[in-house]
């Protein structure tokens, strides 16, 4: 494990040296790059397994406390089941998976922004409300786009598969 840290340190030192030699960075950029996360965060993980556990904890937190996240989980499962039943091609699967992932990411970012605002502004403040509302709008936009994309991708093969059966119900 110490060999990996040594390699990481060596690579980081080489990148830092190259950056200083090749680019003359603006002082604002230098100040940002000088801020080390370990100096400001009580929870900085140097273990990939711990990082994975933290990410899983965040996902489970959202499922436990975010009712929209639970609704999103149900719809994600339904889309996967429907896609499997329809026998979608790999390109359609790729688009659906990317769309679902972006929707989940928007919901997670919304939750993170709301948690940070709650921490930074425990009292009701107009700008805190704006921040939370804008973050929520991000999730809404992703959900609406996902619904449109899902309909465009799933509705034609669904109607092709069940259309004759539906017509048979009404025409005798």
pLDDT of residue 6: 65
pLDDT at 95 over 90: yes
Backbone angles phi, psi at 87, to 5 degrees: 65, 50
pLDDT of residue 42: 75
In 3D space, the residue among 81, 91, 85 whose CA is nearest the CA of residue 149 turns out to be 91
| Rounded-to-10 torsion of CA 124, 130, 135, 141 | 140
pLDDT at 3 over 90: no
What is the mean pLDDT of the segment spanning 1-29? Answer: 72
For residue range 54-79, what is the model confidence (pLDDT) as tens digits?
A: 899 999 999 999 999 999 999 999 99
Least confident segment among 60-64, 122-126, 138-142: 122-126
């Amino acid at each position: 494990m110490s060999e990996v840290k040594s390699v990481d340190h060596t690579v980081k030192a080489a990148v830092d040296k190259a950056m200083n030699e090749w680019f003359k960075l603006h002082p604002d950029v230098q100040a940002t790059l000088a801020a080390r996360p370990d100096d400001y965060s009580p929870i900085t993980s140097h273990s990939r397994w711990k990082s994975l556990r933290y990410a899983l904890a965040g996902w489970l937190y959202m499922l436990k406390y975010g009712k929209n996240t639970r609704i999103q989980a149900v719809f994600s499962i339904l889309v996967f089941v429907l896609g499997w039943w329809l026998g979608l091609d790999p390109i359609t699967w790729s688009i659906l998976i990317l769309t679902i992932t972006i929707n989940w990411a928007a919901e997670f970012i919304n939750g993170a922004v709301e948690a940070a605002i709650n921490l930074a502004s425990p009292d009701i403040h107009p700008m805190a409300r704006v921040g939370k509302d804008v973050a929520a709008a991000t999730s809404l936009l992703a959900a609406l786009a996902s619904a449109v994309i899902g309909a465009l991708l799933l509705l034609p093969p669904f109607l092709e598969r069940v259309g004759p059966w539906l017509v048979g119900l009404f025409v005798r």
